[in-house]
Amino acid sequence: MENVSTKLSAEQMIAILGRSFGSGFHSLGVKELSGGTFNETYLIDISEQERVVLKIAPPPAPDTYWDDVALMRREYNTLPFFASIAKLTPKTVFADFTHQIVGRDYILQTFMEGDRWSDIEDELTQEESVDLWGQCGGIVKQIHETTGEVFGYPYPGRSFAKWHDVILDRFSQITQSLQAYHVEISHFSTISDIVISARSVLNDVRTSRLLHGDLWTFNLLVTRQNGRPLITGVLDTERAWWGDPLADWIMFLLSIRSGEMQWQQRLAAFNNEYGVLGNSETMQFRQEVYKAMHIGSSAVWGVKHGNQEDVERARQELSAIAHLLPKLL
């Protein structure tokens, strides 16, 4: 094994590889990967032809955000439901949640070739970008076509029988987080009260569907084939959950760009492959509720990381939603 600087000790790395591949196993090289915001990640050469990725969860901490708890275990239990896009997702090689070698969960996955879309965006032509957004729409459609038996989160997360209860839970968790940081956003409280009274509207969603939960260009790998950029990898499914497709993170990010001129062709390409969701007032109401939910989470993130601009922007956006929602009921 190469003598590289790692957060794990050499003994721990050797023990992990020995447990995964057999005692006496020696890798050809280990390299810590940067760019992740949650897990500690290493690229390991296990032969001349094969590489794997070792992901190690952060140590348990009392201030862990509610939606960050047991993410690796959630991913482990969710991956089989991404079977419709199996060729695009990493495969689990080995998982160890015993904490016997290192006091954290860890998992080994197959390495996916390609560049992160977010890293090469500036190199793409407008036509290539539109092409990729069309491909993305088709992939998201495949994900959302997978149905579940409950709403909420994969084990060990909490599941619910009704969609309204999931949304109430998320609003409650966000509210508690804002209170823990001593941040008062009155419009978020107003929206929470509206959500409480909107049980029948939200429970119109009767079929739970698989949501990636964190899909954007930084979690999509692109490879050029015959000069054309193709999406060849979908990463980081640990935030996947079951619910209304409109509530998925990527749908939120696309919706807030719907008024931007430079996004019109990309959105049209995405929607052409994804299909039409409809435009009823009930759907508009749900979409605004989900916007408020995601903006509330962004406010918590901003407070936690000392970004006051995110918090102030959230206040303004939540104010507009709080005034709009009653008109849509």
Which tens digits make up the pLDDT trace of 220-272? Answer: 999 999 999 999 999 999 999 999 999 999 999 999 999 999 999 999 999 99
pLDDT band per the 50, 70, 90 thresholds, residue 4: very low
- The predicted pLDDT at position 1 comes to 42
- The predicted pLDDT at position 2 comes to 42
pTM: 0.94
188-223 per-position pLDDT tens digit: 999 999 999 999 999 999 999 999 999 999 999 999
Containing 156, the helix (H) or strand (E) segment is: none
Other residues' Cβ atoms within 10 Å of the Cβ of residue 204: 15
Comparing C-alpha atoms, which of 48, 137, 54, 146 is closest to residue 93? 54
CATH of domain 115-328: 3.90.1200.10
26-46 per-position pLDDT tens digit: 889 999 987 666 899 999 999
- The predicted pLDDT at position 59 comes to 87
| CA gap 238, 213 in Å, rounded | 8
What are the sequence ranges of the domains in the chain? Answer: 10-110, 115-328
Rounded to an integer, the average pLDDT of 121-143 is: 98
- The predicted pLDDT at position 200 comes to 95
Beta bridge partners of 225: 228
- Do domains 10-110 and 115-328 share one topology? The answer is no
| CA gap 222, 234 in Å, rounded | 9
pLDDT above 70 coverage of the chain, percent? 97
**pLDDT of 6 above 50:** no
Rounded to an integer, the average pLDDT of 43-64 is: 91
| CA gap 268, 276 in Å, rounded | 11
Other residues' Cβ atoms within 10 Å of the Cβ of residue 212: 26
- The matching CATH number, chosen from 3.40.50.2300, 3.40.440.10, 3.30.200.20, 3.40.605.10, for 10-110 is 3.30.200.20
Comparing C-alpha atoms, which of 75, 88, 181 is closest to residue 136? 88
